[in-house]
Amino acid sequence: MAYKQLEVPGVGTVKLYKRRDARALKITIAHDNHIRVTLPMWLPYRAGLEFVKIKQDWIATHRRTQNVLLEGQLIGKSHRLRFVAAEYAPTQSTRVTTQEIRIMLAPNTQSSSPGAQQLAKQASIKALRQEAEALLPIRLKQLATQYGFEYKSVSIKQLKARWGSCSHQQHISLSLFLMLLPWPLIDYVLLHELTHTKALNHGKDFWDILLRCQPKAKELRRELRAHQPSL
C-alpha cells in the first residue's frame, strides 16, 4: 500500500494511503486527531490534499464531536468503564479486571478532562487487548476449520490503519479494536484475512472464495466502512 504523510496548515498531520481496492476518496479522523485519506491507486496524492482542503469545515466539526468515554460505557464485549473520584489520592491510576475498567481520579478532577480521558483510553486499550487475545485466536481457528483454511500464526496488535492483515507467509495480524465491532463484522474481517491465505490480492479469485464462505461479504464490507479501528 503506497503511503505519504504531510503537514497541512490549518489541518495538521495528513496521512494519504493509496489502495488497490479503493473506488473513491475517503476521509476519516484517527484516534490521535490526524487525518487519514484513502484514495484509489490511479489518483495522484495532490487529489487527496485538495479533498482535505475542501473538507476542512467537516474536519473541524467532527474533531469537536469526537467520542468522549463515559461512565458505565461498555468497552468491547465485557468491560464497563468506571470513573471513581478519590477524596485524598494525589495522583490518578487505573485498574483493569475481567469485567471492569476503573479510573481513579485525583480530587476535583472531571472524567471529561483530557488527563482523565487519556487514562481511560489507555486502560480501555489494555482491556480490549485482554479480550482480543482471549477470543480472536479461538474464533479464527473455528472459522479456519469450518471453511478449510490454513494459516501459520496469529497475533494481536494495536493496528490503527486497518482491521487485520495477512502476510505471504500466512501470518495473520488482527487489530485489538476488532472487539469494538459486532460479531458479524468481526467474523467478516477474520474470513477476509483467512481468504488472503489463498488469494493475497482483492481480485476475482479472492471474492469468489470469500463469497462462498460469506454470501453477504460485500454488504458487510460496506457496513464496516462506517467504523474505524480506534476508540
Q: Is the pLDDT of residue 64 over 80?
A: no
Q: Tens digit of pLDDT for each residue in 82-100?
A: 999 877 766 788 999 999 9
* Rounded average pLDDT over 19-40: 84
**CA-wise closest residue to 82 among 74, 91, 93, 72:** 72
How many degrees, rounded to 5, is the angle at CA 231 between CA 34 and CA 193? 90
Q: Is the pLDDT of residue 1 over 70?
A: no
In this prediction the pTM is 0.73
- Report whether 15 contacts 35 (CB < 8 A): yes
pLDDT grade for 63, boundaries at 50, 70 and 90 = low
Q: What is the per-residue burial (b if ≥16 Cβ within 10 Å, else e) of 102-124?
A: bbbbbeebebeeeebbebbbebb
pLDDT grade for 143, boundaries at 50, 70 and 90 = very high
User: What pLDDT is stored for residue 215 in this prediction?
Assistant: 97
Which H helix or E strand runs over 79?
A: strand 79-85
If one counts every other C-beta atom within 10 angstroms of the C-beta of residue 217, the result is 18
- 3 state SS of 146: helix
Q: Tens digit of pLDDT for each residue in 173-208?
A: 999 999 999 999 999 999 999 999 999 999 999 999
Q: At what angle do helices 114-147 and 183-195 cross, to 10 degrees?
A: 60
Mean pLDDT of the chain: 90
Please state, in angstroms and rounded to a whole number, the distance separating the CA atoms of residues 159 and 135.
Answer: 17
Percent of the chain with pLDDT over 90: 64
